[in-house]
Structure 1
Amino acid sequence: MRVDFDPEALGGPGFYRFMTSVVVPRPIAWVSTVTPDGAVDNLAPHSFFSIASTDPPIVQFTSIGRKDSLRNVEDTGEFVINFCSEPNLHLIRDTATDFPRIVSEFGTAGIEREPSRHVRPPRVASAPVVLECRSHTTLRMGNSTMVFGRIFLAAVHEEYLVNGRPDAELLRPLTKLGGDEWGTLGQIMHLSRIPYEEPRGE
């Protein structure tokens, strides 16, 4: 027997909690930005994050409400996606606090910066992978704004590369689940696609 969940009856916050418990695991974009005057750098995790296009390379994260990351991207057109790895769990959690825009999460959480090559926002020095992005498009949808950014540089610490590409087991990706739940990689399964011409097994 199924239990029905009516979005209208639950309302926005109630159905948000339902959706984020069902759409799991979700990769996390740890987004660094700067204020227009360059005085304050911000860093915040966004768990609505995905690839939007591969050619040109575009990634997308969603800001629920008018968060500092969104405001800074709108004002400067630049941001960095810092890969969220398991060793940085507590630092990522610490940057999820709703600080005022004039407060730098880098400084508050004691996170080491490193300069980016093509954009003004700094990178997280301990992040295994960073994606330097310039804003491509923003799209308002309901109470949220989807931010699309074109990648102008991807940089990976060399110890995370195997045969020329980042290795998932070495990266130890961190994911967001429902409520205050976080997830780690777990078991990796290798299963190739079956070409149409090949027969399927029983």
Structure 2
Amino acid sequence: MFFEPSKGHGLPHDPFKAIVSPRPIGWISTLSKDGTANLAPYSFFNAISSNPHLVFFSSEGAKDSATHAEETGEFVVNLASHDLAEQLNASSVDAPRGVSEFAFAGLTEAPSTLVAPPRVAECHAALECKVTEVRRPLGLDGAWAGVIVVTGEVVGVHISDAVLKDGMFDAVAAGNLARLGYRDYSAVTEVFQMTRPQWKGD
């Protein structure tokens, strides 16, 4: 089939998020200006650079995480993992502003080292970030798409010793969680390796 998104797809549900998957989940913790902790998962998240280490998350609408990150200049990315899937889902609750998603999901706030927002103590890894850019992308019509994209530089990294194998981060041991389409998720349970080819000329 072929369809133009602006004209509809004729399917029970839009397949876009299922096609562009699996996507890492940005489990973002922030602090409001008054010091209230917030925690929420974002399925539009990824790394965009390795030198410097840059990550972004995209908020569909002016939600607390994007608002707090823009106001304070800091956020933490907590690793979404299979063993914390239920807690991650619980933290997506549409709770009123001021309610702690940490407490609602039964998670523990742990102090960060270089930024003010707490990290999730139970996570196997966490990235402390400082905001470098906040963008509001436009559609083809030139109007704001209703999306806020927050980019941050990773200034500190926490890794549990339990998921370090021979000095390398083990995504299987950590059970990295990814977002698919619809209500679907996937976890890393196996990996395989390939060596990038090198051009040897004619």
| Alignment TM-score, normalising by the size of structure 1 | 0.90
Provide the residue aligned with 2:27 in structure 1: 30
**SS state at 2:198 partner:** coil
Report the alpha carbon displacement of residue 65 of structure 1 after superposing the two structures with TM.
0.9
**SS state at 2:195 partner:** coil
Structure with a larger share of its residues in helix: 1
The alpha-carbon distance between structure 1 residues 192 and 198, as it changes in their structure 2 partners (threshold 3 A), is farther
More displaced, 126-135 or 165-174? 165-174
Report the alpha carbon displacement of residue 186 of structure 1 after superposing the two structures with TM.
3.9
**SS state at 2:55 partner:** strand
Q: How many residues align?
A: 194
Provide the residue aligned with 2:148 in structure 1: 145
Report the alpha carbon displacement of residue 44 of structure 1 after superposing the two structures with TM.
0.3
Provide the residue aligned with 1:165 in structure 2: 168
Report the alpha carbon displacement of residue 157 of structure 1 after superposing the two structures with TM.
0.8
CA RMSD in angstroms, aligned pairs only: 1.9
Provide the residue aligned with 1:17 in structure 2: 14
Provide the residue aligned with 1:86 in structure 2: 82
Q: Distance in 2 between matches of 1:192 and 1:178?
A: 30
Provide the residue aligned with 2:3 in structure 1: 5
Equivalences for residues 1-202 of structure 1 within 5 A: 3-10=1-8, 17-38=14-35, 40-141=36-137, 142-197=145-200
Contact preservation (8 Å) 2:115, 2:128: yes
Report the alpha carbon displacement of residue 110 of structure 1 after superposing the two structures with TM.
1.4
Give the aligned residue type for 1:176: R
Contact preservation (8 Å) 2:172, 2:190: no
Q: Distance in 1 between matches of 2:195 and 2:178?
A: 24
**SS state at 1:69 partner:** helix
Give the aligned residue type for 2:173: L
Report the alpha carbon displacement of residue 19 of structure 1 after superposing the two structures with TM.
1.3
Give the aligned residue type for 1:173: N
Unmatched segments (≥5 aa) in structure 1: none
Identity %: 35
Q: Distance in 1 between matches of 2:91 and 2:193?
A: 34
Q: Distance in 1 between matches of 2:57 and 2:119?
A: 17
Provide the residue aligned with 2:141 in structure 1: none
**SS state at 1:151 partner:** strand
Report the alpha carbon displacement of residue 198 of structure 1 after superposing the two structures with TM.
7.9
Report the alpha carbon displacement of residue 17 of structure 1 after superposing the two structures with TM.
3.3
| Alignment TM-score, normalising by the size of structure 2 | 0.90
Give the aligned residue type for 1:160: V
Report the alpha carbon displacement of residue 84 of structure 1 after superposing the two structures with TM.
0.5
Report the alpha carbon displacement of residue 63 of structure 1 after superposing the two structures with TM.
0.7
